[in-house]
Amino acid sequence: MRYLIPAATCCALLICALFAGCTSPTEAGIQPVGTTVGTPVETTQTVAPTPTPEAIVQLPASQAIDFTVNKDRPTGKITLQWTNGPGMSSAQVIDLTVTRADGTPEDQRITNNNALGQINGYDSITLPGTLDGMDHVQVHITMGGKVYLVYDQDVGSVNPYSSTNSSLNFNS
């Protein structure tokens, strides 16, 4: 009871101060917000330029890496396999990008972040492709901090087990 009267008095003074405007800023620059009539803004749609394709780079013989790209007919899987080469010691990243026939891209990379500081000379990356479609494959190799496009092709196969493939199709 003893603290009730001073607490109630403090609360009453605080409420009076808030309603009196004593806590508002004293800057003269504050003006009430007026209403403005909006005018429609004309929008234009910009089309992003089509990126120019990268040029395939033939690595010098001293930095060459031997690799093959294969598409497995029954499964549609795309495999990048490298079998060493003089450039394996300086390769930092080998990157396989597959853009499937439906436009879905998938990427996987191997880096030299291991105890030896080198990419294994006989290794591979496998990504899923489409069974009956044409997939786009790109292989990038990073050496000395620079990225080189070394393979850029469409790969396709006809799945012999597909219902769209018939061995009874005779064309005269």
Return the closest-CA partner of residue 85 out of 60, 110, 109, 107.
60
**Considering Cα of 59, then 61, then 63, then 64, what sign does the dihedral take?**
positive
CA 78 to chain centre: 20
pLDDT of residue 97: 96
Return the closest-CA partner of residue 139 out of 91, 101, 110, 97.
97
At residue 86, the 3 state secondary structure works out as helix
pLDDT of residue 53: 56
pLDDT of residue 166: 42
Please write the tens of the pLDDT for every residue from 51-81.
Answer: 445 688 888 888 899 999 999 988 899 999 9
pLDDT of residue 56: 82
Query: In one letter, which amino acid is 31?
Result: Q
Rg of the chain over all Cα atoms, to the nearest angstrom: 34
Taking the C-alpha atoms of residue 133 and residue 17, their distance in angstroms, rounded to an integer, is 76
Written as one string, the DSSP assignment of 7-63 is HHHHHHHHHHHHHHTTTS---TT--PPPP----PPP--PPPPPPPPPPPP----GGG
Residue 107: in which H helix or E strand, if any?
strand 105-111
Taking the C-alpha atoms of residue 92 and residue 145, their distance in angstroms, rounded to an integer, is 8
At residue 88, the 3 state secondary structure works out as helix
The two tokens of residue 58 are 């033939």
Residue 9: in which H helix or E strand, if any?
helix 4-20
Please write the tens of the pLDDT for every residue from 76-130.
Answer: 999 999 888 888 888 999 999 999 999 999 999 998 887 777 888 788 999 999 9
Residue 135 in this model has a pLDDT that exceeds 50: yes
pLDDT of residue 30: 52
pLDDT of residue 139: 95
- Domains in the chain with CATH codes: 61-156 (2.60.40.10)
Q: What is the mean pLDDT of residues 128-147?
A: 91
Please write the tens of the pLDDT for every residue from 22-62.
Answer: 455 555 555 555 555 554 545 444 443 434 456 888 888 88
Using 50, 70 and 90 to split pLDDT, how confident is the model at 17?
low
